[in-house]
């Protein structure tokens, strides 16, 4: 049932970037979507279909402006879901830690 109210913490129509209060939620959802794993030898594996389908799905769920958000992701090296995680999310985490 849609009461016309937005989900708490989500802002329909806003572009999404590392300064958004729900950035951590996005990171966790994308991490779950990619299903990143390391075996005992340290070899990494994840699920990426070389598109932004997972990123788009999460942005839609979070009621973000998808096209504005995708422009931000791509301008920071995120052209598929795993690149968003490695180039955008990880870089944002290192910037936040330095601040």
Convert the pLDDT of each residue in 17-73 to its tens digit: 888 899 899 999 999 999 988 899 999 889 999 999 999 999 999 999 999 999 999
Structure tokens at 70: 């995708």
Q: What is the CA radius of gyration of the chain?
A: 14
pLDDT, residue 92, reads 58
Domain limits for position 78: 23-36+49-98
Residue 79 domain-assigned? yes
Residue 27 domain-assigned? yes
Indicate whether 82 pLDDT > 90. Answer: yes
CA 83 to chain centre: 10
What total number of domains does the chain contain? Answer: 1
Residue 10 domain-assigned? no
Residue 1 domain-assigned? no
Model's pTM, two decimal places? 0.75
Q: What separation in angstroms does the CA of 31 have from each of 1, 12, 61, 85?
A: 29, 22, 15, 7
Give 52's DSSP letter: S
Indicate whether 99 pLDDT > 60. Answer: no
pLDDT, residue 54, reads 97
Residue 6 domain-assigned? no
């Amino acid at each position: 049932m849609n009461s016309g109210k937005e989900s708490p913490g989500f802002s329909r129509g806003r572009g999404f970037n590392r300064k958004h209060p729900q950035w951590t939620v996005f990171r966790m959802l994308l991490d779950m979507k990619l299903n990143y794993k390391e075996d005992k030898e340290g070899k990494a594996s994840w699920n990426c279909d070389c598109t932004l389908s997972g990123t788009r799905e999460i942005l839609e769920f979070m009621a973000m402006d998808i096209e504005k958000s995708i422009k931000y992701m791509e301008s920071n090296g995120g052209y598929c879901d795993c690149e968003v995680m490695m180039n955008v999310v990880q870089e944002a985490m290192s910037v936040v830690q330095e601040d």
